[in-house]
Amino acid sequence: MRWSCWATIEMPGLLVALGKQPWNPSKLNEDAADNLSFLHCRDPNSGSAALNEVVRAFGIAVEKGWKPLRTIVFASWDGEEYGLLGSTEWVEEYLPWLSEATVAYVNVDGGARGPHFTASAAPLLNKAILEITGEVQSPNQTVKGQTVRDTWDGYISTMGSGSDFTAFQDFAGIPSIDLGFGAGPNDPVYHYHSNYDSFSWMDKFGDPGFEYHATMAKILALLTAKLADEPLVQFNATDYAVGLDKYLQSVKEKAKSSDMAALSKSTFHPLEKAIEQFQHFAKDFDASAIALSELASTQMSPPSLAQLYQGIRVANTKYKLLERQFLYAGGLDGRNWFKHVVFAPGRWTGYAGATYPGLVESIEDKNQTNVDRWVEIVEGTIKKATDLLIPG
């Protein structure tokens, strides 16, 4: 029997969630080396191994007196292959609590099957993962002392679906990140979802020595600790503004290639104006947050310290709620469970993510009325996000 399970390092206030698919101890019939080999060694058991190490390490830290500033929830989800059942039901059941308290969700599914680091994330988390990968040594030491960041091109893809971050990001509006080490075109073939995804394959081909498993655990641990234990939540709103503009350029290109005569440059003008305003206030907000963070490391009198803590609390609340502003209660057309207007899995792309899905799908359907409707919906969410960041 398999089931979802979760545990916490509990502190008052906000929380950070870290999750993965459950360990799967299925047996392969015969293995010449040891007569026993576990299936799904990469998907999801490499993620399981990394998460278990994080839990073990954090447990030791707690025993020695560490108390993170925020609650950390460790979760192992059942039923991922059957429609993300465990994580989806959990998010739906605990939605009021999660919406009120959750800062971020960190996901690991297949943690390692090669030397190439990959990340998908909400833009709020881009800065955090770029910083953390610069602190972890890469197993690939072609240059002495190089980090994972040094060997990674820094590309962070948008959130789609296919793993347990979906309910957090696309339904609840909780900024999420999905991490792993993958393979390149010259690496050994990975036998996805087959009996050959075994311990034997991983030991011989996928990650001999399991160095990338250990590196994955270090990245997960440091990222989770950064999100849970820095006084100021380590988000960046400006990256979100940059992303919104980039995604809109992609929509414009799609509109140009369509044969919708009614679409014009002015169609997207309200979004351009809303994004420009959001970017202005996002830069100011991030600058103010950085100033608060720097002040937190200085010696201050009790009255000034109380004022500083109040400022940090306000900034953290706004960072926490920013992603939620991009939810639309009516959901996407034809699949209204998906509430996020910026990110969703593509309608026909499987796991791959789509940006501004309501707009893109309306263009694909050649529905000018719906294009105008989604321009208004998206504009409204961007204005809500802007209003959240305005001081006062």
Q: Under a CB-based contact definition with an 8 Å cutoff, are residues 53 and 108 in contact?
A: no
E strand or H helix at 104, and its extent?
Answer: strand 102-112
Is 219's pLDDT higher than 70?
Answer: yes
Does domain 5-229 sit in CATH 2.60.40.10? no
Is 240's pLDDT higher than 80?
Answer: yes
pTM of the entire predicted model: 0.90
The shares of helix, strand and coil residues in the chain, as percent rounded to the nearest 5, are: 50, 15, 35
Looking up tokens 């999750």, which residue turns up?
19
Q: Which pLDDT value is given to residue 256?
A: 86
Pick the range with the lowest mean pLDDT from 74-83, 118-127, 293-302.
74-83
Angle formed by the axes of helices 269-295 and 237-257, nearest 10°: 160
Average pLDDT over residues 331-352: 91
pLDDT band at 352 (very low <50, low <70, confident <90, very high): confident
Residue 266: other Cβ atoms inside 10 A: 8
Report percent pLDDT > 90 for the chain: 59
Is 263's pLDDT higher than 80?
Answer: no
Report percent pLDDT > 70 for the chain: 88
Of the CA atoms within 13 Å of residue 361, those in its CB half-sphere come to 21
Active site residues: 80, 266, 340
Q: Which pLDDT value is given to residue 13?
A: 58
Q: Which pLDDT value is given to residue 36?
A: 38
Is 225's pLDDT higher than 70?
Answer: yes
In the chain, where does the domain assigned CATH 3.40.630.10 lie? 5-229
Q: Which pLDDT value is given to residue 37?
A: 42
User: Which has the closest alpha carbon to 244: 319, 100, 106, 340?
Assistant: 340
> SS3 for 109?
strand
Q: Which pLDDT value is given to residue 39?
A: 58
CA distances (Å), origin 246, targets 298, 299, 325, 341, 342: 38, 41, 19, 15, 12
Q: Which pLDDT value is given to residue 259?
A: 76
Q: Which pLDDT value is given to residue 160?
A: 80
Q: Which pLDDT value is given to residue 262?
A: 66
Q: Which pLDDT value is given to residue 114?
A: 84
d(CA 243, CA 277): 14
Average pLDDT over residues 218-239: 95
Considering the domain 237-389, what is its CATH architecture?
Up-down Bundle (1.20)
pLDDT band at 348 (very low <50, low <70, confident <90, very high): confident
Top-confidence residue, 266 or 81:
266
In the chain, where does the domain assigned CATH 1.20.930.40 lie? 237-389
For residues 312-348, one letter each, b for 16 or more C-beta atoms within 10 angstroms of the residue's C-beta and e for the rest, the string is beebbebbbebbbbbbbeebbbeeeebbbbbbbbbee
Per residue in 181-217, pLDDT tens? 988 888 878 777 777 778 888 888 888 999 999 999 9
Average pLDDT score over the chain: 87
Per residue in 19-66, pLDDT tens? 655 544 443 333 333 333 455 666 677 778 888 999 999 999 999 999
Phi, psi of 374 (to 5 degrees): -75, -30
Q: Under a CB-based contact definition with an 8 Å cutoff, are residues 363 and 251 in contact?
A: yes
Six token digits for residue 386? 């802007």
Q: Which pLDDT value is given to residue 14?
A: 64
d(CA 232, CA 238): 16
Q: Under a CB-based contact definition with an 8 Å cutoff, are residues 233 and 319 in contact?
A: yes
CA distances (Å), origin 152, targets 117, 140, 185, 213: 6, 11, 15, 16
Is 346's pLDDT higher than 90?
Answer: no
Average pLDDT over residues 130-140: 96
Top-confidence residue, 12 or 160:
160
Is 370's pLDDT higher than 80?
Answer: yes
Cβ neighbours for 22, distance < 8 A, ≥ 6 positions apart = 2, 3, 4, 5, 44, 48, 76, 77, 78, 86
Per residue in 82-97, pLDDT tens? 667 878 899 999 999 9
Six token digits for residue 16? 């950070």
Per residue in 301-331, pLDDT tens? 777 888 899 999 999 999 999 999 999 999 9
pLDDT band at 129 (very low <50, low <70, confident <90, very high): very high
